Amino acid sequence: HVLQLEAGRGLLALADGLPNAAKHHVAPRLIRIFADAWAGHVCFHEQVMYPLLKRRYGDQQYERIAIFERQHADISFANDELAETLRMVEIGTVGSDALAYLLRNVAERQRDHLETEHAFFLPTIPEVLFPIERKTYLEWVASNPCPLTNEKFG
């Protein structure tokens, strides 16, 4: 979650620096880092954490997981909208005020989601990950590229 929160702070700083910040190459790079970090977050939860929680707790976690999955989809859609708005700002069809609004909206929605996820899932991780599941987690981490360097973790 640390990477997503840092990228979100970067988006908020970018929004504060508009319209001048949109003229520099940092905006597309920062949005790309933000989107890639988010994609890694969603992938990890969908491929590792949610299956483990569903196996361990069954229906007890289903509603909570369904809420987080909807939030993942909503935030991913907002990330796509943000990238498209940045392209429109670059060609002059949309003003930087629209970009600033979306930057803040996406960063704040993601931060709220991460804080909620942190409160609900972090306390359960030690009891959820049995030794064999820790192995599954480590295998997933080792086989998935780091979103920022395209290198393997581990």
pLDDT in tens, 39-69: 888 888 888 788 877 877 777 777 788 888 9
- Residue 152's beta-bridge partner residues? 145
24 pLDDT band, cuts 50/70/90, is low
Q: What is the mean pLDDT of the chain?
A: 78
> Is residue 142's pLDDT more than 60?
yes
Q: Are 139 and 44 in contact (CB under 8 A)?
A: no
Mean pLDDT of the 30-41 span: 82
**Residue of 76, 71, 44 whose CA lies nearest to 141:** 44
Q: What is the number of other CB atoms lying within 10 angstroms of the CB of residue 83?
A: 15
Q: Averaged over 83-96, what is the pLDDT?
A: 79
Kindly report, residue by residue over 98-136, the tens digit of the pLDDT.
Answer: 888 888 999 999 899 988 888 877 676 666 677 777 777
- Looking at the predicted structure, is the pLDDT value of residue 151 above 50? no
d(CA 152, CA 145): 4
Distances (CA, A) of 76 to 21, 59, 85, 95: 23, 26, 14, 22
Looking at residues 134-145, what average pLDDT do you find?
A: 71
Long-range (24+ apart) CB contacts under 8 A made by 69-73 are 71/109, 71/113, 72/41, 72/42, 72/45, 72/46, 72/113
- pLDDT for residue 70: 92
% of the chain exceeding 70 in pLDDT: 81
* Mean predicted confidence (pLDDT) in 8-30: 76
Question: Would you say 30 and 10 are in contact if contact means Cβ atoms under 8 Å apart?
Answer: yes
